Amino acid sequence: MISFQPTEEEIEFTSVAEKIAKEKIRPAAHVSENERKIDAAIIDEIAELGFLSLELPEDWDGLELPLISQVQIMSALSSGDLGIVQGLPGLGDVASFIRKKPEQAVSKLEQAEHDAWSTAAFLDITNRDAPWANQLVVNTRADGYVLHGVSQPVRLACFADYILVAARDADGVPVVLWLDEPAVWRVKEGDVRLGLLASGVGRLSFDQAFVGKDQVLASGEKAADWIANARTRIYVLQAAKEVGLMQAALEYTTAYTAERKAFGQEIAKFQGVSFRVAKMAIETRIANHLVWRAAVKADRMDDDAQKWAMQALYRAHRSVRYVTDSAVQMLGGHGYVQEYPVEKWMRDAQAQTMLYGREQMLLNQYGEQILIGAKEGATP
């Protein structure tokens, strides 16, 4: 039955998340950005509430919540500050791999399972046709693989204790590798200034790094399925965070324009302003609903869950750029300066969309699936 009514439990979780977003996360946003790390007290509080382990399975002491519940909580948390949420320690995107882990991978992940404070980065180098893909290659050896080169910037790279690599080897066979020895890689922090500065974005550098067979979590068709499943969940969760950022920008802009006066009246009374705010509200609602639908589809393990996830992330990217840009525009000069939060939100939004899939690529892949079917259509 068509319904937009969250469960009682979801309402409770979300309300706690909203409270911490407003009272703890938002006020710490600029300090975290300047220091490029998050205050330990905030991390403790968020961890204590279980918000760092929503996606993890119960056998990993996680809450193992359905995606539809998680997306509501992640949106609420991200309405505090996306930069902080993206820099929180833990397994991050890798949690979605753990959630759907195949049997043979369990023993290999044991160490991370018992290391409650570990942080993992996810390195996705499956698309060998992507620009700069040849800067990091995975070569096959009889006894394992060798990684050589430098990755593109990835989130949590600077804080990572572990790295999960989704790749294709020289023969194009999908593999999932688990790097649990930090000596294997070096982090190049580079010169990141745009946004998500507290999220540990960096490049991972490998110098003929050997990855033994015991670190191969999956290969071939199993790896391909695992990556596709995890990627679906990652897309939905990342899109949900973008919805949270949109909600923050919408609410802040509404409040600001309701008070700010020009030409003798509140600027909200000018239709150029109020109509733009209405469009922000519509875009935010659309992105939210597409995320909800994708989450429900993924929870039900629908065959086309990946398609819905792709669609949700594409729209979230497009909408978050529009809504955060509109926020800066509506605040005028104030929007451009750092005394107000909106310029940071616009920067964070742009950085987020760059880290998680190019919009046109998502649209293209989705379109190919429509036109020639999921199997023949190119995968990311």
Partner 1 sequence: MIDFELSDQQRQIKEMTHWFAENEIRPIAMKADQMEKVPDDWLEKVNQMGIHLNTSSFGGSGEAKDGKNKKEREGNRLGVLATEEMAWGDPAITLSLPGAGLGGPPVQSSGTPEQKERFLSIFTTDKPRWGAYALTEPEAGSDASAVQTTARKVDGGYVLNGQKIFITNGARASWVVVFATVDPSLGRSGQRAFVVEKGTPGFSAPKVVKKMGLRANETAELVFEDCFVPQENLLGGEAMYETSGSKPSGFRVAMKTFDSTRPIVAAMAIGIARAAYEYTLDIVQKEYPHHGKFFHIATEMLAEAEQDIAAARLLTWEAAWKADCGKENAKEAAMCKAYAGEMALDVCAKCLELLGPVGLDGHIVEKLYRDVKVFDIFEGTNEVQHLVTARRQYAPYGIRV
Q: Does 263 bind partner 1 (CB under 8 A)?
A: no
The site that binds partner 1 (CB under 8 A) totals a number of residues, namely 43
Q: Tell whether residue 208 is a contact of partner 1 (CB under 8 A).
A: no
Residues 297-356 binding partner 1 (CB under 8 A) are 311, 314-315
DSSP element (H, E) containing 218 = strand 216-219
Selected from 31, 106, 255, 301, the binder of partner 1 by CB under 8 A is 255
Nearer to partner 1, 215 or 369 (CB): 369
> If binding is defined by CB under 8 A, does position 262 make contact with partner 1?
no
C-alpha to C-alpha distance for 176 and 158, rounded to whole angstroms: 21
Degrees, nearest 5: CA angle 46-292-322: 85
Q: Give the Cα separation of 75 and 137 in Å (integer).
A: 35
11 lies in the site for partner 1, by CB under 8 A: no
260 near partner 1 (CB under 8 A): no
144 close to 210: Cβ distance less than 8 angstroms: yes
Q: Give exposure, 37-71, as e/b (b: 16+ Cβ within 10 Å).
A: bbeeebbeebbebbbbbbbbbeebebbebebbbbb
- Give the range of 32-40, 158-166, 347-355, 358-366 binding partner 1 by CB under 8 A: 358-366
**Binding residue for partner 1 (CB under 8 A) from 266, 334, 354, 355?**
266
Minimum gap (Å) between residue 253 Cβ and partner 1: 10
State the minimum distance, in angstroms, from the CB of residue 3 to partner 1.
Answer: 5
Nearer to partner 1, 206 or 366 (CB): 366
User: First vs last Cα of the chain: how many Å apart?
Assistant: 33
Spatial distance between the Cα atoms of 42 and 197, rounded to a whole number of angstroms = 17
CA distances from 100 to 105, 203, 291 (A): 10, 26, 20
Structure tokens at 21: 């977003």
Examine residue 199 and tell whether it contacts partner 1 (CB under 8 A): no
The binder of partner 1 chosen from 133, 355, 363, 374 (CB under 8 A): 363
Nearer to partner 1, 281 or 355 (CB): 281
Would you call 178 helix, strand, or coil by DSSP? strand
Q: Counting contacts by CB under 8 A, is residue 139 touching partner 1?
A: no
Among 41, 278, 301, 337, binds partner 1 (CB under 8 A): 278
Distance of CA 33 to the CA centre of its chain: 18
Regarding 184 and contact with partner 1 (CB under 8 A), the answer is no
The closest of 221, 292, 295, 233 to 99, measured between CA atoms, is 233
Report the site for partner 1 in 49-108 (rule: CB under 8 A).
Answer: 68
Enumerate binding residues for partner 1 (CB under 8 A).
1-7, 10, 68, 254-255, 258-259, 266, 268-269, 271, 274-275, 277-279, 281-282, 285-286, 289-290, 292-293, 296, 311, 314-315, 360, 363-364, 366-368, 370-372
